[in-house]
Chain A
Amino acid sequence: GQNIDQPTEMTATEGAIVQINCTYQTSGFNGLFWYQQHAGEAPTFLSYNVLDGLEEKGRFSSFLSRSKGYSYLLLKELQMKDSASYLCAVMDSNYQLIWGAGTKLIIKP
Chain B
Amino acid sequence: IAGITQAPTSQILAAGRRMTLRCTQDMRHNAMYWYRQDLGLGLRLIHYSNTAGTTGKGEVPDGYSVSRANTDDFPLTLASAVPSQTSVYFCASSDSSNQPQHFGDGTRLSIL
Contacts and interface: CB of A to CB of B under 8 A. Distances in A.
Are A and B bound to each other? yes
B14 to A, nearest CB: 25
Contacts of A102: 42
Interface in A73-109: 87, 89, 91, 95-102
A99 B45 CA distance: 9
Q: How would you classify the secondary structure of chain B's contact residues: helix, strand, loop or mixed? A: loop
A57 B10 CA distance: 35
B98 A44 contact: no
Contacts of B48: 96
Given A95-B97, A101-B40, A44 B45 contact: no
B43 interface: yes
A31 interface: yes
Interface string B78-112: 00000000000010000001101111111000000
Contact of B90 (A4, A43, A101): A43
A87 B42 contact: yes
A6 B59 CA distance: 20
A41 B97 CA distance: 23
Contacts of B44: 99
Contacts of A42: 90, 103-106
Contact of B100 (A45, A87, A96, A98): A45
- Greatest chain B CB density within 10 A among A4, A31, A41, A45 is at A45
A95 B44 CA distance: 14
Contact of B42 (A33, A91, A101): A101
B16 interface: no
B98 A91 contact: yes
